[in-house]
Structure 1
């Protein structure tokens, strides 16, 4: 697919779905927009904790955030002409929130969660790569990152089990 429009701040601010899909603008980063989008999840998670939500409440919150991400990412992808444009980072934000919900609330816990999620999101071992290549639209955008989050959560749990 050929991109219909190069996204900029005007595009991101032209529709609430674009603003969310681009991670409040973080997806406009020229280099590594997925990493910048993932980083957005860290202060967002801290804010949710400060507002009194517990980690399990945040984990459950990821379900509606995932579901709303399907049309958000789908609409933005269609507007750009590219289903899974790199600047669409809502999927990274939601997935990282989920990984953080199962990480120790320490700098080391958050760092390991971040590194593991980015590793699985970038390398895309099977079945992540399979979903990424075959499932398109908003659901496809969201699904491969959810699977990467599950991989990161599994390895994270094993790492903390081994370290403690």
Structure 2
């Protein structure tokens, strides 16, 4: 194994024989939450953007060498999608202690971001599926997960606002 494999498989989590995409997302979640807590949502967003640019180039190299498009082992796209969702959903600075406070919605939004991201990534509704089917190379591999991440973050944030407005949590 080389550094490219380590990067594209997110620390080899993509080599999991069962559900490599979910494993890649699960590995990405605590790393993203740590970045959110210690560096903030803007840093997480910019890190996801930077990794996207690097990943597109590395995926293009990988695909040229292997002649395989969107290999199941490549889960860097799940990391990026999850990080975009996490940077959008709570959208505020918070601490480790805030994770245990149910009424602030942080833990719920993080969980919803994960669930909605996996749902959108697996089901591939609308433009997510179109990008997955039609886009080629690294942009194709990354594109559907980027859109799924944005959709998951926005859906989570909207759902939290609906919970607040409903008065279920004071």
TM-score in terms of structure 2 length: 0.82
Contact 1:84 1:141 in 2 (8 A): yes
Out of 3, 16, 34, which is 1:47 matched to?
34
Structure 2 partner of 1:21: 8
Per-residue CA deviation, residues 34-55 of structure 1 (Å, 9 max, x unaligned), is 00001111121133245x3111
Deviation at 1:27, TM superposition (A): 0.2
Structure 2 partner of 1:57: 43
Larger Rg computed on CA atoms: 2
How many residue pairs get aligned? The number is 150
Query: How far, CA to CA, are the matches of 1:91 and 1:156 in structure 2?
Result: 20
SS for the counterpart of 1:57 is helix
- Counterparts of 1:139-154 in structure 2, within 5 Å, are 139-154=139-154
Query: How far, CA to CA, are the matches of 2:121 and 2:15 in structure 1?
Result: 18
Contact 1:38 1:92 in 2 (8 A): yes
Unpaired runs of 5+ in structure 1? 1-12
- 1:162 paired with 2:149, answer no
Per-residue CA deviation, residues 63-82 of structure 1 (Å, 9 max, x unaligned), is 11111110122223333331
Unpaired runs of 5+ in structure 2? 91-98, 100-105, 165-170
1:47/1:157 Cα in 2 relative to 1: closer, same or farther (>3 Å)? closer
TM-score in terms of structure 1 length: 0.84
Contact 2:85 2:151 in 1 (8 A): no
Structure 2 partner of 1:37: 24
